[in-house]
Structures are given as structure tokens and as C-alpha cells.
Amino acid sequence: MWHPDVREILLIGFYNQSQQMSRFVDDMQRKYGIPIRYLQEYAPLGTAGGIYHFRDQILRGNPRAFFVFNSDVCCDFPVWEMAQFHSNVTGGNGYVILGTEANEQQALSYGCIVEEPSTHKVLHYVEKPETFVSNIINAGGYIFSPDIFQHLTRAFTANYENELIHDAARDSIDLHSSVLTPLAGNGDGGKLYVYKMNSGFWTQVKNAGHAIYANRLYLSLFKERHPEYLATNTPGGHEIYGAVRIHPSAQIDSSAVLGPNVYVGAGVVIGAGARVREAIVLDRAVIQEHSCVLHSIVGWDCVLGAWSRIEGYPSDLNPNDPVAKITSESLFNLDGRLNPSITILGQGVSVHSELIVLNTVVLPHKELTSSYKNQIIL
């Protein structure tokens, strides 16, 4: 997705910067040789509110345009194609939304875009409509020219003039209702366009369960473009199936079997006869001998006893629908029971030997001395 004209990356959010985030930023700066900074909001400001609040930082250096990508999107971002579209179709002065297709039912859960096919202009934009509007949905990526800030300024001013908006919420600007919807059609001379993805993958990551599916997509991208990032079978070593990424500091017994679609973090120890599939194993976790981890996330510093089984329910798309998207279901069903999903072990969880943890969410620093199924362990 890299583009040579990108000069700086700004990460904007409300969360305190963690050690993991700091290390990630440092690693990416060294790898790509580009400045990366995290800008922390003083309150949740929304996508447009965060952009407006840090406008001086964004406009520093007089950029011709800037990308905006939502952090909850997993995508093979077509940065080159979007930049070329912005230059050739909008003349470098318009605004571009990245779009993708969804089926009629799932489109209702996203921002829907009505496009003029001949010009790719956005004629109408509505966020999560009650009835079907279009199967082109907002994919959470944008290119804006700097004059987008005049529209953000108007939205900011309107918030402060609206007496119905609470003081604490007036700095928050919703990108969809306050900016995109007014710009659709002839707003600002019809400068809002949509670039539709023609290939690649796209999904949202709205909960931890979606991370397993997103991990699979990114590993498939590594397999296609950077196979050197992935583990391979070696004589006398552990067995690998499919796409598996292993940190160099991980210690894995030669009789263990990993894959497909597994990530193993730094300092992880995996014992003899262990089986790991469709899983994310975070730093310093220990999986003892003959344990089995399927469709699960094992958090930092977890310890899984020998012969334990950690298993979740797979989150997959409808194979018969080429434009199907992963659904963001509620944690509980109408009967109050936990919906089937992946198993998640929070940081520092200890699971005793010979136990089964199935379709369960375990909060950090818990010690499990018995088996659990379809529960949340607080």
C-alpha cells in the first residue's frame, strides 16, 4: 500500500499511548524511514473532530492532499490507485471516498453511497439507512485536499451555535452527517467522488472476534507479496501448514504443529506436541506440551497447562456471496446467552492442565481451575 509521496504518518486517537504502541511506532519509523507520530485527543472528537483539532499538524509542510484511514478497517488499501484517481478525476482539488460493495442486507449497516457512474461523483450519501439505498458502502478510507477544512470549520461553528448540543460534545464532529452528506450531490460544486475497490480484501474489525479473520487476511497478503515474512518447514523443525508468522525470539518445540493462519509473538514458548491453528498468540505466552489452541486469541503472559484445549467458534463469511462482509453481532443473543465466537484469554490468564475453555471470554489475570463453555469470566 506504500506511496513514495507520503511524507508523514499521524495516528490520532483518544487512548493513552501504551508501551506496545510506542514500540510499534518506533519499529515502523526504523523500517520505513518516515516520521510517525501519535496525537492524543483530550476527549473523543470523532473522525472529523480529530482532523479539525489537529489541523495545524496536518497542514504543516503544505501538503497537496492527505489520506485518512479508519483504524478499525482491515484492507489491502489501494493507495496508489486512490492517489492517481484523486489527481486524474478530481484534478487534485476534490475529495475521494474509498468504496466497496456489500449485499443489500449488510449495506444497511454502513454508510451508503449513490454514485454517478460516468463521473464517479457522489450524488447521495446516507449513514446506515433504514431501507436499501445502494450496495456501494463507505470503506473507511479518504483523500482530502486541504480546503476540506473550510467545511470542518462550518461544522464546528454549527455545533457551537446549536443549543441542543451539550457543551462537552460540541468539539466532536461527525464526518458522515456533518461533512460527507452535505458535500454529496452539488455540495461545494460537486467535489465529492467515490473510488471503488476492484480487487483485494476489506473487512471491519469491530470486536476482538474479528481480529482472527483480519489476521488471516493479512497473512494471505504476506504470502502473496512478502513470503519471506512467513515461517517455512525446515528439516527437524516444527511443522508448518499454510501462512504462519513467528517472531524470531519465540521458542517452539520441533514436534509442535502450527497453522494455517497463526501469529506467534515475541518470547512465546510452545511445548512438545502442541497444536495451534487460526490463532493469535501474543508476547511471552506459554503453551505447554500437547495443548491445543483453535480460533482463539491468547493474551500477553498467558500460561496454558499441558493437555489443555482452548477453542473458539470460527468467524467466516458466506462462501456463496462474493461481496459478503463479516457481521458485527451482539455479544449476547435474545435469550441472554453468549453468541458463538472466538475464545479470548486476557493478559496474564493461567489455565490449569487438562482443561477445556470453549467459546469463552476471560478477563486479564484470572486463574482457571475448571473447564468453561459459553461464558464470560470476570
What span, in angstroms and rounded, lies between the C-alpha atoms of 203 and 201?
7
Q: Which of 234, 203, 238, 198 is nearest to 220 (CA)?
A: 203
Kindly report, as residue ranges, where domains of CATH 3.90.550.10 are found in the chain. Answer: 9-204
Give me the pLDDT at residue 261, please.
97
Give me the pLDDT at residue 165, please.
66
Give me the pLDDT at residue 282, please.
97
> Within a 10 A sphere around the Cβ of 55, how many other Cβ atoms?
15
Give me the pLDDT at residue 312, please.
95
Say if pTM beats, i.e. exceeds, 0.85.
Answer: yes
Give me the pLDDT at residue 222, please.
94
Angle at CA of residue 270, ends 264 and 272, nearest 5°: 145
What span, in angstroms and rounded, lies between the C-alpha atoms of 168 and 210?
32
What length does the chain have? 378
Give me the pLDDT at residue 243, please.
97
Which residues are bridge partners to 51 per DSSP? none
| Ranges of residues in the chain whose predicted pLDDT is under 70 | 1-3, 163-170, 328-329
Helix (H, G, I), strand (E, B) or coil at 263: strand
What span, in angstroms and rounded, lies between the C-alpha atoms of 137 and 222?
26
CATH topology of domain 209-377: UDP N-Acetylglucosamine Acyltransferase; domain 1 (2.160.10)
What span, in angstroms and rounded, lies between the C-alpha atoms of 218 and 69?
17
Instruction: Determine phi and psi for 257, rounding to 5 degrees.
Output: -125, 125
What does the DSSP 8-state code read for residue 49?
A: H
What does the DSSP 8-state code read for residue 18?
A: P
C-alpha dist (Å) from residue 332 to 212, 230, 337, 357: 19, 36, 5, 18
Question: Which homologous superfamily is 9-204 in?
Answer: Spore Coat Polysaccharide Biosynthesis Protein SpsA; Chain A (3.90.550.10)
Amino acid at the residue 266: A
Kindly report, as residue ranges, where domains of CATH 2.160.10.10 are found in the chain. Answer: 209-377
Give me the pLDDT at residue 167, please.
64
> Within a 10 A sphere around the Cβ of 349, how many other Cβ atoms?
25
Give me the pLDDT at residue 334, please.
73
